[in-house]
Amino acid sequence: MRSDVYRLTSSTVVKKGKADRLRLEAEASRFVALHTSIPVPAIYDFWEEGDGNAYLVMEYKEGEILQRKWRQLSPDQKMTVMRTLRRFVEELRVIPQPAPRGWIGSVSKGALYDYRISSQSAHGPFQNEDAYNDWRISTFSWFGTEHSPTGVRLQQLREEMPNDHRITFTHADITRRNILVSVTGEGADDVTITALLDWEQAGWRPEFWEAAKFMFGVDPTNDWIVLGRQEVVPGYDLELAREDELLFISGPPQ
């Protein structure tokens, strides 16, 4: 779900969208800017309209959308991008979670949006991963009611789900369209990530979720995914297989 973004001045842009989503983006962007060195647009203003929409004024960041530049990058430059993203993910994961630790939710301990789960509604917050996993399986209960073997499999999947992942801060939408880059030459060091954008889905989640979202909606043979799984979000194969099976049961999220 995209918002409308317009250049406001030489140094600012304004983003129009749903108030609850832009509020989450503003909170997360400010939080990340405070706790990491990740290049995030500064947030200058936020206000709501009476129709449920809002406006977010933020810093204009120089750079080109990576989605448009990716094919033009050399293999070494692509690796530079991946290693930078790995550093970003590592920075997010070491941010201490406000007490009591282990909860799942937004920066302000509220509900989350996640378009792998639903593009229409928020969910949470949850006291811990156990409660989150119970809820996650419950959202598929209709399919189990309609088809008993599916109901059995859903129960098996719930029993397989660990309840003790680290809960880490997660961008949850690291895609090429949300990354700005500057390319000044053909060398490996001539590409720089100038901004990581669109933090409205960010929040505290089980540590594997960054990998689940990195894979979401992209051909697994694409070199973006192949390199990303090696360099940015390795591991979590069992968790990703379970999430893919849940998507197979339900079809694309609504």
As a whole number, the mean pLDDT across the chain is 96
Rounded to whole angstroms, the Cα distance separating 87 from 231 reads: 10
Which pLDDT belongs to residue 1? 46
* Residue 13: CB atoms within 10 Å: 17
pLDDT in tens, 171-195: 999 999 999 999 999 999 999 999 9
Which pLDDT belongs to residue 253? 78
pLDDT in tens, 113-154: 999 999 899 999 999 999 999 999 999 999 999 999 999 999
What integer is the mean pLDDT of 144-168? 97
Superfamily name with CATH number, domain 62-250: Aminoglycoside phosphotransferase (APH), C-terminal lobe (3.90.1200.10)
Rounded to whole angstroms, the Cα distance separating 230 from 237 reads: 12
Give the pair of three-digit tokens for residue 50.
């009476």
Which pLDDT belongs to residue 3? 62
How open is the CA angle 233-210-19, to the nearest 5 degrees?
150
Domain boundaries, the chain: 62-250
How far, in Å, are 96, 169, 206, 207, 209 from residue 166 at the CA level?
A: 11, 10, 6, 6, 11
CB neighbour list of residue 41: distance below 8 Å, 6 or more residues apart: 13, 29, 58, 59, 60, 61, 195, 197
CA Rg value for the chain:
19
Give the SS3 label for residue 191: strand
Residue 254 — pLDDT band, cuts 50, 70, 90? low
What integer is the mean pLDDT of 60-84? 98
Residue 13 — pLDDT band, cuts 50, 70, 90? very high
Residue 2 — pLDDT band, cuts 50, 70, 90? low
Which pLDDT belongs to residue 181? 98
Rounded to whole angstroms, the Cα distance separating 132 from 214 reads: 20
Which pLDDT belongs to residue 50? 86
